Structure 1
Amino acid sequence: MAEANTTTSMATPTPSLVPDEHTIAPAPTIWDMLAKMDYFAIETKMILSALIIIYLGAHASLRRPPSAAPPTKLKRKAGKLVVDDEKEHFAQGFQASDAILFPFLAGGVLIGLYYLIKWLQDPNLLNKILRGYMALSGVLGMGIFFGDGLQSLLNLVFPDYWADRSGRVFEIDPVSRTQKLLKLPQGQDSEMEVDPKKGLPLPGFASELSVSAGFRKAVWTARHLLKEECVLSLVILNRVVKFEVTVTGLVGLLISCTIEGLYLQTNSTMLSNILGLAVCYSAFIWMSVTSFAIGTMVLVGLFFYDIVMVFYTPFMIAVATQVDAPIKLTYETAGRSSLLGLGDIVIPGIFICLALRFDLWRHYQRKVTRVEENLKTVSNQDSNINIGNATETSTDNELTTIKTAYRTVKTPFVDPRGQWGNQLWTTSLRSLISGQPALKAMSDVSFSKTYFHATLFGYLIGMLSTLVVLIVFKHGQPALLYLVPGVTGSAWLTGLVKGELKDMWKYTEDGSLDVEDVVVEVDGEGKVIEEKKSGEKDAEVKEIKDVKDKDDGEKKDGAKKGGGEKDEYELFRFSITVPKEDSLKED
């Protein structure tokens, strides 16, 4: 939240009224801070909270980069394997105009809150409204936060792969309810052999536990129910809405609702911090700065906004200290407190998330290969013409031209999210020493995170600089004054040192880089001359979709004509459908 975009330290309890423009709550001296180590404990908690949520949110925001091919997913339907046409998730991207609008919009909201508090004289009513709004709007974000955490724990208990001490890798097959030994785990399509001793879908010695047949079946069923996606159907006024959820996601949503209710009843600072961190986590998943250029512009715009609002106006500190809502992180001890606005986490955080996705793009970009293709053209001509790398033959007034081109082939994407359980169970001392993962599929899960680590380190330096200046000048500091140069500067400096500024400028998440495997022409040095862009690909996809929609429409019309329309009008219906075990997904 931009309106609480500040880091400040207070030595006295927060006053009930908005402080005067020229009055600042007294801050402790440097000697007092050294004498009381709880101050440093507070600041350490604040910095660690910000770093951890950015780290988790950045990895949760990972998705297929434009340099990787979509994975081919199969699922069982009516006893047959069919392609799973699940849509990919794309975050909402910023535009260049947002860099201009954001500071003015944030300033308008902040000034409005300031004068509203002064007019009310008592911010309790405003705090109740803001707490209620943030609680309702944060239910889904907190549900995702806890759902992802439970899913990670579930993957630890029920991994898909695991390796024993001798380095043998096993795959847990939910369809046949067996564990299979991979004879060549480093190969593309390894042969598998069923191990009859391992009857449970658990890693290690637990897979060979001697249990009854009923208990074994119950464990396999529990794994199926917990790992598979359910279909949540909601009917309101005869309109049907369906979307896929997991059991862990539903449990996370229940936990979220419970915490929200407790927060509204108790106004607990700890629960407020949890809600604020969950809001940051969901923002990292749903938001994107699109490119490094746009991200830098957005951060620089808010950089000047933060300076003006903290140093030259009373708005920022007044609102930050008076509003009691989950738009900031608050850490308190008996005599002091420290505040960090969510904007100081979200704004630099979405740029750091972009850096991690750029690292993933670079990883798959290095795996792109070009396969030689011969393009054959037959035409009626009376004379032969020699053109570059084309070979021509002529028979009976027919000219056959064979032109050499190259097809760009991308590596299929392996989603690194939720794979830490497989990584943990397949990592052995041998693989750590050799640096080679025991399973080929895990080689794409781990990738170099140069830009991510650089920007995260820049964020840490910016936070430490903020606290040092806060101690020296005893005044609330605009954290973005130090965070923006630290984050953006570290990213561009890394690109300069590695000679990848051109790639940084080229990289974008607006979809223009997402091209399919295409045939390209290259010059004598192997550089691409021309390439089919995503616009042509989108046109083909749209045409296929239109045909599919037309066929679906015809089927529905035929069903209505054959069986007649229903007379019932459903007001409300809610259902959760769990897939049968004969319709298990297979990746």
Structure 2
Amino acid sequence: MDDIEPPQNISSTKPSASVEGMVIAYGNLLVMALVPIFLGAFRSVKHHSLQKKRLEASATLTQKDIYIYPLIASGALFGIYIFFKIFSKAYINYLLTFYFFILGVSALTHLLSPTLERYYGIISNLLPLRKFDIILTEKIEGEHAKTKSLFALNFSTSDIITAALSSAIGVWYLMKKHWIANNIFAFAFAVNGVELLHLNSVLTGCTLLSGLFIYDVFWVFGTNVMVTVAKSFEAPIKLIFPSDLLENGLSASNFAMLGLGDIVIPGIFIALLLRFDNSLNRGRKTYFNATFFAYIAGLFLTIFVMHVFKHAQPALLYLVPACLGTPILIAAIKGDLKALFKYEDHPSEEQKEEGKTD
């Protein structure tokens, strides 16, 4: 996970950020972190419901995945660090820029297309809504001739329009690397991450957050690897906002930053709690609301400590206790501990087989 960092400037003559500028920067980072979690959590409920209806598989993290995830993340982080030490930073970032251009356009299209389709009636007179299917099949000859489906792509006019708009933003990002273009793509990544990446149980979420708590603290406080990579990695994997916006306008360059990992990882756990709330059928979103506000408190504490000590902070150091402690405490008070840890909305393969046997 990336850490949250105080304003950084690539020039050697870094101006000191004004109090007003820092308040604006951190305030905007806070809002930009909260909106993807809120939107992504509710979109995850809809996505999960559609998957159940269509009997589709999902990108689900299980207990088996979680045990090695911090090790994989550590290996990837250290590998990138070594690459930056050995090879030219410029060449690596050229490759990353093109890679994240493709991913960013896809993520932004997925985010915007349903909204455009919902309100497509406004422009339907100019460009009627049409749906298209591209299907690749294989004809198998023989005694029992049959057709095997290899690939299917379904899209509509709204998808084409949003893809064109997303590509235009992508070209802007490629050409200018402007912080607004970076944030548009980073926002789309965060919402899609919370929506599409699901935890299969609360216990899995507790294990994941605990493991990444140790990972984040070690790589920020134990080494300079995390901070070095975060500053060198020119890709929309972090939200940034200038603290010198008042002085330099949109050309500002003194940035505070928050890594997407500090949004998506707690976010997928908070989204799971929203689905748990819905499963209780009590008409209230107690666990989601409480943990969402605990996340806000954790971010405030991260920013406060960073401001006091003038040093990058591992945000998960503060976010994990807040996001884990809050629902567990509420469940203990309300007598829901057993239901909380028993809840699974993505049963494992073993459980599916047991269900079939029963």
TM-score (norm 1): 0.53
| Cα deviation digits, residues 135-175 of structure 1 (max 9, x gap) | 11233221111113324545xx79xxxxxxxxxxxxxxxxx
The alpha carbon displacement at 1:337 in A equals: 1.4
Cα 1:64/1:480, change in 2 over 3 Å: closer
Distance in structure 1 (CA, Å) of the matches to 2:308 and 2:223: 21
Aligned to 2:200: 290
Preserved CA contact (<8 Å) 2:199 2:272: yes
Contact 1:10 1:337 (C-alpha < 8 Å) held by counterparts? yes
- Matches of 1:27 and 1:349 in 2, distance apart? 34
* 1:535 counterpart = 2:353: no
Task: Give 1:258 deviation, angstroms.
Answer: 2.1
Aligned counterparts, 1:232-381, within 5 A: 232-235=133-136, 241-332=151-242, 333=244, 334=252, 336-363=254-281
Are 1:115 and 2:82 counterparts?
yes
After superposition, give the CA deviation of every residue in 1:24-64 in whole Å (9 maximum; x if it has no partner).
Answer: x9996xxxx6x530110000000000101111111111148
Contact 2:302–2:313 under 8 Å retained in 1: yes
Residue 144 of structure 2: aligned partner: none
Counterpart AA for 1:8? E
Deviation at 1:131, TM superposition (A): 1.4
**Identical-pair percentage:** 30
Give the one of 461, 483, 489 matched to 2:319: 483
TM-superposed CA distance for 1:91, in Å, is 2.8
Where do 1:109-508 residues align within 5 Å? Answer: 109-120=76-87, 122-154=88-120, 226=129, 230-235=131-136, 241-332=151-242, 333=244, 334=252, 336-363=254-281, 447-508=283-344
Q: What displacement does 1:291 show?
A: 0.6
For structure 2, the residue ranges without an aligned partner over 5 or more in a row are 140-148, 245-251
User: How many angstroms apart in 1 are the aligned matches of 2:299 and 2:310?
Assistant: 16
Q: Which residue does 1:87 correspond to in 2?
A: 54
Deviations 1:55-84 (A, max 9, x none): 111111114879x9x8xxxxxxxxxxxxxx
Distance across 2 between alignment mates of 1:242 and 1:92: 19
**Is contact 2:61-2:199 (8 Å) kept?**
yes
How far apart in 1 are the matches of 2:97 and 2:77? 17
Amino acid at match of 2:173: Y
Equivalent pairs counted in the alignment come to 338
Deviation at 1:249, TM superposition (A): 3.1
CA displacement at 1:244 relative to structure 2: 3.5
1:328 to 1:260, Cα distance in 2 relative to 1, 3 A: same
Task: Give the partner amino acid of 1:488.
Answer: L
Are the equivalent residues in 1 in contact too, given 2:108–2:188 (CA < 8 A)?
yes
Structure 2 SS opposite 1:37: helix
CA–CA distance in 1 between the matches of 2:206 and 2:127?
45
Q: Is the 8 A contact 2:81 2:229 kept in 1?
A: yes
Deviation digits for residues 386-439 of structure 1, max 9, x if unmatched? xxxxxxxxxxxxxxxxxxxxxxxxxxxxxxxxxxxxxxxxxxxxxxxxxxxxxx
Bigger helix fraction:
2
Question: 1:361–1:478: structure 2 CA closer, same or farther, 3 Å change rule?
Answer: same
SS of the residue corresponding to residue 151 of structure 2 reads strand
CA 1:15–1:297 in structure 2 vs 1: closer, same or farther (change >3 Å)?
farther
In the alignment, structure 1 residue 40 sits paired with structure 2 residue 18: no
Kept in 1: contact 2:32–2:239 (CA 8 A)? no
Query: Which residue identity lines up with residue 306 of structure 2 in the other structure?
Result: L
> Could you say what secondary structure the match of 2:152 adopts?
strand
Instruction: Using the TM superposition, give the Cα deviation of residue 485 of structure 1 relative to its aligned residue in structure 2, in angstroms.
Output: 0.9
* Pair 1:10-2:1 in alignment: no
TM-score by length of 2: 0.84
Provide the residue aligned with 1:60 in structure 2.
Answer: 43
Name the larger-Rg structure.
1
Distance 1:65 1:280 in 2: 17
For residues 346 and 101 of structure 1, the distance between their equivalents in structure 2, rounded to whole angstroms, comes to 18
> Separation in 2 of the partners of 1:223 and 1:118?
54
